[in-house]
Amino acid sequence: MAPNQIIAYEKYHDVVIVDTTSRTNQFDMILMLFTVVDNNFRNLIVVAALLEDETEVTFTWGLQELKNSCEVIPTVLYSNADPALISAVKNNYQDTCHLHCIFHIDLNLRKKLKGKLRDQFKDFCTKFLKMCNSLYHNQFENGWNTLINEYPKCQQYLT
């Protein structure tokens, strides 16, 4: 990490976004980016790493290097639902709230449920996003239970 990246990470580590782009470069490697959002809502890349694979060991290395650079851990970390990354975060950042990115959740909904729900899919997605944007825990729980009851074909994917 460059000095200005360390400063940005130490200042804006509340929410960190981790994203990987698989094998789209000339070296056939994975690009892993750690991004923070500053107080002007600009994205700042604080870490960029080229990885050979997307295993828990490799992700653990990346997380440890980040921790060694400035001894600050993220409050909240957003990522895709990669099981290896989920495990690495859980084992290395126990106090970090690890959440999944809505973009990747949406991709999974389309992949798993669009064919099952067919003409109900658009209505389901509207209700799902409304539930996800609930401001209160009770609202979320009520919306969640309504979704599960209203779309029984989805139950195994939503629980």
CATH of the domain at 84: 3.30.420.10
Domain boundary among the residues 85, 100, 115 is at 100
Same domain, 15 and 84: yes
Same domain, 74 and 138: no
Same domain, 55 and 70: yes
19 neighbors 31 (Cβ within 8 angstroms): no
- Burial class of residue 51 in the structure, from the number of CB atoms within 10 Å of its CB (0-12 exposed, 13-18 middle, 19+ buried): middle
Same domain, 51 and 107: no
Average of pLDDT values for 50-68? Answer: 93
Q: What is the residue range of 38's domain?
A: 3-100
Domain boundary among the residues 100, 126, 150 is at 100
**Entry pTM:** 0.79
Q: What is the pLDDT of residues 26-45, one digit of tens each?
A: 788 999 999 999 999 999 99
Convert 57-94 to b/e letters by CB count within 10 Å (16 or more is b).
ebbbebbeebeeeeeebbeebbbbebeebbebbeebbe
Give how many domains the chain has, as a whole number. 2
CA distance linking residue 86 with residue 33, whole number of Å: 16
Domain boundary among the residues 70, 100, 130 is at 100
Same domain, 116 and 80: no
Instruction: Note the pLDDT of residue 158.
Output: 67
Q: Which residue would you say has higher pLDDT here, 102 or 18?
A: 18
Same domain, 96 and 107: no
